[in-house]
A and B are shown apart, each in its own frame.
Chain A
Amino acid sequence: MDLVWQGLVRAFEMLLAGDPELGRITWLTLRVSGTATLVSVVLGVPTGVLLALGRFPGRRLLISLVNTGMGLPPVVVGLWVSLLLWRYGPLGFLNLMYTPAAMVIAQSVIATPVVAAFTVAGVGQLNPRLALQITAMGASRWQLYWLLVREARLSILAAVIAGFGSVVSEVGASMMVGGNVLGQTRVLTTATVMEVSKGNFDVALALSVILLALTYGVTAVLTLVQQRRRPA
């Protein structure tokens, strides 16, 4: 247990000392996972809305696929994205392997199904009569979708929180496509794994405390937005 205490003390020391490397790692973690979350919202929310409200053949199959995608193992994503991005892979000409951009791609692949599936569930839960009423008032199809998204905003913010949570805590894909390169692609999770294998448990614990604080901070902001929008 004294290790835990040492780790906490170490975390405060590192924070107080303003270790530039730690700052860089934390900032990169926020940047990569934040961008990946944004990408997954841009892709996942419309997909989820269309799947929830659209009427087309294969819709249920697609929903089941998206639901399966919620459990997409990060290492599997990491491996596939690596195969695509390698120099001699199909997208090798982009020179993205071992860059933060590669990590954003992998994390977006992980988070998009999460966001889409939560959106499907959230929008699907709305009272079906609401859609009828909005349509009856003369709304166009896109206006209808927009109004329904606004109605489902609580669930959609939950989708964003879940998406961010799944990528900020992920290590396998980030390690594989990012490579844990010092000063370039090292994020809090991959740094933690590396410090453990170096036997620096106190530093690893400190990093984990900082990761938790970061995750809490972002989630708290999103929760605040979510709960303030709550209808009385």
Chain B
Amino acid sequence: MEGRRVRAAVLVAFLAGVLAATACGRRPATTEAGAGQERGETTAQEAPKPATPDVILATTTSTQDSGLLDVLVPMFEQKTGYRVKTIAVGTGQALAMAERGEADVVLVHAPDAEKAVVEKGAVVDRRLVMHNDFVLVGPPDDPARVRGTGTAVEAFKRIAAAGALFVSRGDDSGTHKKEQSLWKAAGITPQGTWYQESGSGMGQTLNIASEKGGYTLTDRATYLALRKNLRLAIVLEGDAPLLNVYHVMRVNPQKFSKVNAEGGKAFVEFLVAPETQALIGKFGVDKFGQPLFFPDAGKREDELGAKS
């Protein structure tokens, strides 16, 4: 009998411990007032306390995978007291979240799709933030002989003609949308065994292309960040249609009453502020010897050399 009681006590104590831990630990996340608590007392003292602290940022995987947001988001939080929930999902889903009022602010890179959402009135205050460029990468020995073609359209035609493996994101992301517009411009409907859709983010798609020895279209930032693990080389870059332009926009609070209007506005202002822009321009230089993004706030999109 004695042993049994001890065993029961051990079980009860274990379960109670877990319960207690969860009960007291979860409070800050579920109540609005205590939302900042978990971040530590130091930031709470200096940062202002917004009425609605949680800001949902829907963005593309490239901003997260490149590490840029790991630098920018803590700065923004420190400065303003907001707490950002970064949901990195890819441009298609990010814009879909905006259209349903499920995000407060979006940072994406698919100008045509963005304009459609602006026209629907779901987002407002669309501002140019930065650009980098897409590059076509492939096996270093370049079996489709893409190097030297000069234009993306010509390169895509050669890949199709050679039937060389091309790995597409296939996930309705900004990169995928760009890739599709290039196939369209080349007059090719990509299909067949040489054209494969990974259905995943940029990092994963690069891994797949590398393993299978295929070509893929990628943003430069993600490629540089992952290059050490990849057997892929840049086979084409610098063509004007390969420009990759990022815009920030906030979800229209007039249309969606539950949107954190103040928080969204604060994040937009933060991204285009001169100090943030300077930081974006420097990001990646120490690690890759070149910047991953070029700050563009205040510029017009057609000044960047090409319209997407």
Q: Which residue of A lies closest to B23 (CB)?
A: A35
Question: Quick check: which of A56-64, A73-81, A116-124, A195-203 contacts chain B, the rest being far away?
Answer: A195-203
Instruction: Kindly state whether residue B32 has any CB partner on chain A within 8 Å.
Output: yes
Q: A31-B26, A88-B102 are in contact. List 9 more A-B contacts (CB 8 A).
A: A35-B22, A38-B19, A38-B22, A182-B86, A185-B85, A197-B204, A198-B65, A224-B10, A225-B7
Chain A residues with CB under 8 Å of B4's CB are 229
Most buried by B among A38, A180, A183, A228: A183
Instruction: Kindly state whether residue B182 has any CB partner on chain A within 8 Å.
Output: no
Q: Are the C-beta atoms of B229 and A225 separated by less than 8 Å?
A: no
Q: Which residue of A lies closest to B39 (CB)?
A: A183
Instruction: Kindly state whether residue B15 has any CB partner on chain A within 8 Å.
Output: yes
Of residues 153 through 191 on chain A, the ones whose CB sits less than 8 Å from some CB of chain B are 179-185
Q: Mark B169-208, 1 if CB is under 8 A from A, else 0.
A: 0000000000000000000000000000000111110110
Q: How many residues on A have C-beta within 8 angstroms of the other chain's C-beta atoms?
A: 39
Q: Are the C-beta atoms of A34 and B18 separated by less than 8 Å?
A: yes
Chain B residues at the A interface, C-beta cutoff of 8 Å: 3-4, 7, 10-11, 14-15, 18-19, 21-22, 25-26, 29-30, 32, 38-39, 56, 61, 64-65, 67, 70, 73, 83-88, 100-102, 200-204, 206-207, 225-226, 228-230, 256, 258
Partner of B87, one of A38, A98, A196: A98
Q: A181-B87, A199-B226, A199-B228 are in contact. Are A31 and B22 (CB under 8 A)?
A: yes
Most buried by A among B19, B84, B87: B87
Prevailing SS type, chain B contact patch: helix
Q: A86-B100, A87-B101 are in contact. Are A199 and B229 (CB under 8 A)?
A: yes
Chain A residues with CB under 8 Å of B18's CB are 30-31, 34-35, 37-38
CA distance A222 to B65 in the complex (A): 38
Q: Are the C-beta atoms of A95 and B32 separated by less than 8 Å?
A: yes
Chain B residues with CB under 8 Å of A100's CB are 26, 29-30
Q: List 13 A-B contacts (CB under 8 A).
A: A95-B30, A95-B32, A99-B29, A100-B29, A104-B26, A182-B70, A183-B38, A184-B38, A197-B200, A198-B65, A199-B228, A201-B229, A228-B7
Q: Are the C-beta atoms of B87 and A179 separated by less than 8 Å?
A: yes
Of residues 194 through 232 on chain A, the ones whose CB sits less than 8 Å from some CB of chain B are 194, 196-199, 201, 221-222, 224-225, 228-229
Most buried by A among B32, B207, B230: B207
Instruction: Kindly state whether residue A43 has any CB partner on chain B within 8 Å.
Output: no
CA distance A184 to B36 in the complex (A): 10
In the complex, how many angstroms separate the beta carbon of B128 from the nearest chain A beta carbon?
26
Of residues 33 through 52 on chain A, the ones whose CB sits less than 8 Å from some CB of chain B are 34-35, 37-38
In the complex, how many angstroms separate the beta carbon of B2 from the nearest chain A beta carbon?
12
In the complex, how many angstroms separate the beta carbon of A84 from the nearest chain B beta carbon?
13
Chain A residues with CB under 8 Å of B206's CB are 199
CA distance A198 to B63 in the complex (A): 11
Q: Are the C-beta atoms of B225 and A181 separated by less than 8 Å?
A: no
Inter-chain CB contacts under 8 Å: number:
108
Q: Are the C-beta atoms of A181 and B226 separated by less than 8 Å?
A: no
Q: Which residue of A lies closest to B64 (CB)?
A: A194
Chain A residues at the B interface, C-beta cutoff of 8 Å: 27, 30-32, 34-35, 37-38, 86-88, 92, 95-101, 104, 179-185, 194, 196-199, 201, 221-222, 224-225, 228-229
In the complex, how many angstroms separate the beta carbon of B72 from the nearest chain A beta carbon?
12
CA distance A37 to B84 in the complex (A): 29
Q: A179-B87, A221-B14 are in contact. Are A31 and B25 (CB under 8 A)?
A: yes
Most buried by A among B15, B21, B85, B202: B85
Chain B residues with CB under 8 Å of A35's CB are 18-19, 22, 26
Q: Are the C-beta atoms of A96 and B203 separated by less than 8 Å?
A: no
Chain A residues with CB under 8 Å of B11's CB are 225
CA distance A60 to B146 in the complex (A): 63
CA distance A222 to B12 in the complex (A): 11
In the complex, how many angstroms separate the beta carbon of A106 from the nearest chain B beta carbon?
15
Q: Are the C-beta atoms of A34 and B39 separated by less than 8 Å?
A: no
Q: Are the C-beta atoms of A180 and B88 separated by less than 8 Å?
A: yes
CA distance A87 to B14 in the complex (A): 36
Partner of B29, one of A38, A101, A224: A101
Q: A38-B15, A38-B18, A197-B201 are in contact. Are A101 and B30 (CB under 8 A)?
A: yes
Partner of A181, one of B10, B70, B85, B228: B85
Chain A residues with CB under 8 Å of B256's CB are 87-88
